[in-house]
Amino acid sequence: MNYSVVAIDDEPPALQLIAEYIEKTPGLKLIGRFENPLKASEYLRENHADIVFADIHMPDLTGIELVRLLEKGPKVIFTTAYEKYAIEGYKLEVVDYLLKPFSYEEFLAAVNKAIKQIRLEQKALTNVSANEKFLFLKSDYKIKRINFDDILYIEGLKDYVKVYIQNSPRPVISLSTMKLIESKLPEEKFMRVHKSFIVNLGRVDTVERGRIVFGKTYIPVGEQYKDKFQKFLDRNFL
């Protein structure tokens, strides 16, 4: 499994060093590098990263302020030349604090701490219990109850799922696989209609040209799922 990483530092040489460390480390994938913390914050609002390396002392938005804005729960490792920020960093429950200049060995030790935390969370997720009305999912740094009736549809993205909920502006994002979450859902209420989508059958109200419509979102029905979905439509067709 590859862990996605974002690096943020307003000093180009420091950013380049972190990028080189990431690229030489098996299992890490650099998905974004930013000198501008505001652009990094905007990117992280729309994209999930497993691990974020962030300098603390940056213009416009400090690393500490950036972490407070994060909602999707990446593991944060602070990098800074100012030791005085260490206590504040630990208050934010960051994984580690690297004092510049740091070696590759120190970098790797911090990465291993982050990966250990991620794996523990994944293990906890596999033990999630479900019943006929709801399940619990770990998202951000919380465990959230998700009522089945509130779910519109679920989208799978590699090692993550996005659960779209009625009247919620943002989906719940959790480390999981489609196969695992599908096993927790009641078959009579949910159907996988595509390799990347599961829909709540009770929320399906419009089908257009072989696609399921949820507001402005069009969900395709995959070839291997068409027969099963058509049988559902036929059983409920007037």
Query: Which percentage of the chain shows pLDDT scores above 90?
Result: 50
Q: Domains of the chain (ranges plus CATH)?
A: 3-124 (3.40.50.2300), 134-235 (2.40.50.1020)
The predicted structure's pLDDT at residue 113? 94
Please write the tens of the pLDDT for every residue from 91-147.
567 889 899 999 999 999 999 999 998 887 777 555 554 556 888 888 877 888 899
pTM: 0.56
pLDDT, average across residues 43-67: 86
The predicted structure's pLDDT at residue 70? 77
Please write the tens of the pLDDT for every residue from 151-162.
999 999 877 899
pLDDT, average across residues 79-96: 68
The predicted structure's pLDDT at residue 131? 58
Tell me which long-range contacts 68-73 makes (C-beta under 8 A, separation of at least 24). 68/92, 69/41, 70/41, 70/44, 71/45, 71/140, 71/170, 72/44, 72/48, 72/139, 72/140, 72/173, 73/139, 73/140, 73/141
Give CA–CA dist 176/137, Å, rounded.
9
